[in-house]
């Protein structure tokens, strides 16, 4: 069986070294390269396409999720495992909506890395056990694409969290009050939230304010 070829894309060289060592201890897995930023990643893929890219979200020059979009457009056969410190559901939604196959938290990377790689190699999606395990995988796999807030909805959410009324939001964004009302309803439905206090808490947790 051919080795499963992996490219590491992270701007922290010490972390890449630790991940490389963990991978190379497993028979059948091979690290074929390392890059430290998003532009280097795309340049590498233009020459050699690995089976899997282990990709950090926070990358210099070209952010990880932007790089992931390019990879999925140009090299649909290349699978992507996001490696990140971001625990929020919104980052997970964004990553999965791009089409990545896995989402692994850095704090648990060395413990779960090989499991994540093997899961993706089998053709399945992997989400860190620290984010809810099987239940969360099923929930996001079935509903993820429809739950991502649009840029306009995020703008409205930010203003709601700042205590703005619907009229104030309408004036600030040059919208009708009815349009703002519809955005409020859509945001609550997408996030499965009922009260404004819950929206404020969500906005704070996701870093929108």
Predicted local distance difference test score (pLDDT) of residue 197: 81
Predicted local distance difference test score (pLDDT) of residue 146: 42
Mean pLDDT, 10 residues at a time, the chain of 209 residues? 94 92 94 96 95 94 92 94 85 83 88 92 86 50 54 88 90 92 89 82 72
Predicted local distance difference test score (pLDDT) of residue 25: 92
Predicted local distance difference test score (pLDDT) of residue 207: 66
Is the pTM above the cut of 0.75?
no
Predicted local distance difference test score (pLDDT) of residue 147: 52
Predicted local distance difference test score (pLDDT) of residue 55: 97
What CA–CA distance (Å, rounded) separates 185 from 149? 12
Domains contained in the chain, CATH given: 4-143 (3.40.50.2300), 149-205 (1.10.10.10)
């Amino acid at each position: 069986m051919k080795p499963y070829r992996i490219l590491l894309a992270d701007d922290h060289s010490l972390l890449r070294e630790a991940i490389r060592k963990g991978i190379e201890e497993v028979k059948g897995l091979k690290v074929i390269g390392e890059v430290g930023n998003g532009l280097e990643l795309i340049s590498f893929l233009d020459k050699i396409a690995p089976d899997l890219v282990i990709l950090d979200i926070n990358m210099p020059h070209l952010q990880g999720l932007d790089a992931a979009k390019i990879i999925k457009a140009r090299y649909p056969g290349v699978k992507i495992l996001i490696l990140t410190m971001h625990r929020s559901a919104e980052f997970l939604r964004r990553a999965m909506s791009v089409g990545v196959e896995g989402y692994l938290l850095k704090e648990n990377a060395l413990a779960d890395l090989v499991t994540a790689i093997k899961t993706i190699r089998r053709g399945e999606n992997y989400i860190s056990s620290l984010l809810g395990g099987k239940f969360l995988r099923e929930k996001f796999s079935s509903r993820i694409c429809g739950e991502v807030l649009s840029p306009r909805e995020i703008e409205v959410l930010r203003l709601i969290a700042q205590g703005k009324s619907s009229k104030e939001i309408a004036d600030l964004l040059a919208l009708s009050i009815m349009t703002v009302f519809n955005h409020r309803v859509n945001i609550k439905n997408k996030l499965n939230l009922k009260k404004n206090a819950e929206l404020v808490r969500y906005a704070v947790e996701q870093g929108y304010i």
